[in-house]
Amino acid sequence: MTDRNDDLFAAARAVTPGGVNSPVRAYGSVGGTPRFLASASGARVTDAAGNVYVDLVASWGPALLGHAHPEVVSAVQDAATRGLSFGAPTEGEVELAALIAERVRFGEVRPVERVRLVSTGTEATMTAIRLARGATGRDLLVKFAGHYHGHSDGLLAQAGSGVATMALPGSAGVPAPIAAQTLVIGYNDPDALDTVFAEHGDRIAAVIVEASAANMGVVAPVPGFNKLIADTAHEHGALMILDEVLTGFRVHPAGFWGLQAAAGEDYLPDIITFGKVVGGGMPLAALGGRAEIMDLLAPLGPVYQAGTLSGNPLSVAAGLATLRLATTEVYETIDAASARLVAALGGALTEAGVVHSVAKAGNLFNASFRASAPRDYAEAQAQDSFRYAPFFHSMREQGVALPPSVFEAWFLTAAHGEEEMRLIEAALPAAARAAADA
Ligand code: PMP
């Protein structure tokens, strides 16, 4: 028997490649029909057939406060009545840039002096790299295997997220000379970092790194690794681009950098990229850094970047409302819920006799089907990933929506209350048994 989701998926495949507008949504690695969502509120989403799920996707991160938070929705509605897009500067953009710069601080240390708003995380990282090349006059970029920074040409080599889910080495359509400008090294490997700089140090413009890896499953940096990246890059005249598109304003008011600074790991990235939470569910992302670097962007400097919809007033309104509502209590709530689910998830898998590890980075977490938490991409891939599909489908049948790939973090929101937490906890044992039987 087909339901509305099956009908929509069939119709979608006739007009859209694979029926989706972003690959992981297609359920390629878990199988079955993707749920076409009709609405979402708080911690729950409703699909086209009327099924309601407790959501652990949160739009892949943005819904920090929960879906359709009334104050965020009303800020967007207000903005809409004043005009959808102007292509001219607005007061809101100034406020949002100032708020980002103000929040990303540790005491007097403020790595973000200037902010440019763009529309997607891909644009933010792409611009950050062009800026690093413009600032250093060098071409090479170092990235880590399994890290995902969006889908621009040079960043798809051994990338995480959908590239990992589909087990692709990279992407067709990327010219070899462009791919050759990206040097891919192993994550959490100080020797690899040393070697790449020993061999190419004077040609490297920047190292780009997820503040904590979370697109090959959650893989936290080993203590000191982010600082080592900053120090090594700076010794060689290269920049550190810290990609906080996923972690920024989600794991801590000042992002993963802020979390690490508070824990005593002091390093200074040169450019930081933001996305997801900063746009409160609307298309908005940003990059920020020291004035001397950021002011190399047009119109002041020679590095070109532009966007018809950059700083769109509806997106800015959603971002401003979200960041203003993202108080310390919001992070405390999510941290506590995360700790509780980490324990419940580990407990259920242990009880069912499933070999697993639950990895954490701040309040981000997910399970891997291997005995120890992975430290890099090779380890993340070396797991019984076939156990995830039955686990995922069991959770969904019990009313809990997980990310449709073992390589994605689970996202909580501040709207996950006692009722939702109990529902998730109650679903875990059967899902763990389904994984055990796989
Ligand atoms: N960087 C990181 C760390 C991400 O997780 C993502 C998206 N998941 C991106 C960049 C790309 O952002 P977008 O999908 O908005 O282009």
Classify 118 in phi/psi space as left (phi over 0), alpha (psi -120 to 50) or beta: beta
Domain match, 310 and 353 both:
no
Range of the domain at 397: 4-64+333-437
Ligand 1 pocket test target in 151, 210, 245 with most atoms within 8 Å of CB? 245
Q: Does residue 269's CB lie within 6 angstroms of at least one atom of ligand 1?
A: no
Other beta carbons within 10 Å of 176? 6
Instruction: Give the angle 275-279-281 at the CA atoms, nearest 5°.
Output: 105
Q: What is the pLDDT of residues 62-84, one digit of tens each?
A: 999 999 999 999 999 999 999 99
User: Which residues lie closer than 8 Å to 421 by C-beta, 6 or more apart?
Assistant: 337, 340, 341
Average pLDDT for 333-344: 98
Taking the CA of residue 123 as reference, the ligand 1 atom at the shortest distance is: 16
Q: Report the domain count for the chain.
A: 2
Q: What percent of the chain has pLDDT over 90?
A: 94
Domain match, 170 and 79 both:
yes
Q: Does residue 393's CB lie within 6 angstroms of at least one atom of ligand 1?
A: no
Determine the pLDDT at residue 158: 82
Domain match, 240 and 168 both:
yes
Instruction: Tell me the CA–centroid distance for residue 151 and ligand 1, in Å.
Output: 8
Determine the pLDDT at residue 156: 87
Q: Does residue 122's CB lie within 6 angstroms of at least one atom of ligand 1?
A: yes
Taking the CA of residue 61 as reference, the ligand 1 atom at the shortest distance is: 8
Question: Among 144-158, 331-345, 355-369, whose mean pLDDT is lowest?
Answer: 144-158
Instruction: Give the angle 23-26-30 at the CA atoms, nearest 5°.
Output: 115
Average pLDDT for 252-278: 98
Q: Provide DSSP, 92-104.
A: HHHHHHHHHHHHS
* Alpha carbons 373 and 220: distance in angstroms, whole number: 10
Last residue of a domain, one of 300, 325, 350: 325
User: Is 368 in a helix, a strand, or coil?
Assistant: strand
Domain match, 26 and 95 both:
no
Q: Does residue 125's CB lie within 6 angstroms of at least one atom of ligand 1?
A: yes
Mean pLDDT over the full length of the chain:
97
Q: Does residue 121's CB lie within 6 angstroms of at least one atom of ligand 1?
A: yes
Determine the pLDDT at residue 392: 98
Domain match, 18 and 146 both:
no
Instruction: Give the angle 302-306-312 at the CA atoms, nearest 5°.
Output: 145
Q: What percent of the chain has pLDDT over 70?
A: 100
Determine the pLDDT at residue 1: 65
* Alpha carbons 284 and 118: distance in angstroms, whole number: 6
Q: Does residue 315's CB lie within 6 angstroms of at least one atom of ligand 1?
A: no
Domain match, 338 and 301 both:
no
Q: What is the pLDDT of residues 92-105, one digit of tens each?
A: 999 999 999 999 99
User: In the 8-state DSSP scheme, what is residue 156?
Assistant: -
> What CATH number does residue 266 fall under?
3.40.640.10
> What CATH number does residue 346 fall under?
3.90.1150.10
Q: What is the pLDDT of residues 56-67, one digit of tens each?
A: 999 999 999 999
Last residue of a domain, one of 270, 300, 325: 325
Domain match, 259 and 173 both:
yes
Which residues participate in catalysis according to the annotation? 148, 243, 276
Last residue of a domain, one of 325, 348, 380: 325
Domain match, 237 and 356 both:
no
Do residues 130 and 299 lie in contact, with contact meaning Cβ atoms separated by under 8 Å? no
* Alpha carbons 306 and 84: distance in angstroms, whole number: 18
CA-proximal residue: ligand 1, atom 8 (nearest)? 246
Do residues 214 and 147 lie in contact, with contact meaning Cβ atoms separated by under 8 Å? no
CA-proximal residue: ligand 1, atom 1 (nearest)? 149
CA-proximal residue: ligand 1, atom 5 (nearest)? 246
pTM of the predicted model over 0.95: yes
Quick one: tokens of 267? 């390093």
Domain match, 198 and 269 both:
yes
Instruction: Tell me the CA–centroid distance for residue 398 and ligand 1, in Å.
Output: 29
Omega into 283 within 30° of 0, i.e. cis? no
Domain match, 144 and 224 both:
yes
CA separation, residue 427 to residues 43, 225, 372, 393, 421 (Å): 16, 37, 24, 11, 10
Q: How confident is the model at residue 160 (pLDDT cuts 50, 70, 90)?
A: confident
For residue 433, pLDDT over 70 is answered with yes
Average pLDDT for 8-32: 97
Taking the CA of residue 243 as reference, the ligand 1 atom at the shortest distance is: 3
Do residues 365 and 408 lie in contact, with contact meaning Cβ atoms separated by under 8 Å? no
Average pLDDT for 188-202: 97
Domain match, 185 and 79 both:
yes
Domain match, 242 and 369 both:
no
CA 349 to chain centre: 26
CA separation, residue 82 to residues 78, 86, 317, 321, 397 (Å): 7, 10, 11, 16, 43
Q: What is the pLDDT of residues 163-192, one digit of tens each?
A: 877 777 788 898 888 989 999 999 999 999
For residue 341, pLDDT over 80 is answered with yes
Determine the pLDDT at residue 376: 98
For residue 159, pLDDT over 80 is answered with yes
Q: Provide DSSP, 162-204.
A: HHHHTT-SS-TT--HHHHTTEEEE-TT-HHHHHHHHHHHGGGE
CA-proximal residue: ligand 1, atom 12 (nearest)? 121
> Which residue reads 């090294």 in tokens?
185
